[in-house]
Amino acid sequence: MALFGRFSTALRRSVTAAQSRQLSAVAHGEQGAKTWKILSFIVALPGVGVCMLNTFLKAQHHSHETPEFVPYTHLRIRSKRFPWGDGNKSLFHNSHVNALPDGYEGHE
């Protein structure tokens, strides 16, 4: 009985795999590959170009000044020191954007 169960399962898998291969070959043949190639060149590449242009133009208009420091009590709380550097700066600290508890670096 167990042998019959294994045989029927194997037969079912082989028939299902053969049917799915036939259907995918019919649905996507040479014409499908050609269609996707054309879509890649007509839609995808110009879309990437438009996104790059948008990013470049936004970077040109971006202000590179540091924002005004406002010493809010709920921000930049240090209950214990960081285990690297001087213990006051976060791991990905950027002195132009990230303020320390007493203000930006280099601005007195």
Q: What is the Cα–Cα distance from 37 to 33, expressed in whole angstroms?
A: 6
The reported pLDDT for the residue numbered 76 is: 82
Dump pLDDT digits (tens) for 90-101.
Answer: 899 988 888 888
- Residue 60 and residue 52: Cα distance in Å, rounded? 13
What is the SS3 assignment for 3? Answer: helix
pLDDT of residue 46: 95
Residue range 76-85: average pLDDT? Answer: 88
Instruction: Quick: pLDDT tens for 22-58.
Output: 555 556 678 888 998 999 999 999 999 999 999 999 9
Cα–Cα distance for residue pair 30/38, rounded to 1 Å: 12
At 23, which helix (H) or strand (E)? Answer: helix 2-28
Tokens of 12: 């079912």
Q: Is the pLDDT of residue 81 over 70?
A: yes
pTM above 0.75, yes or no: no
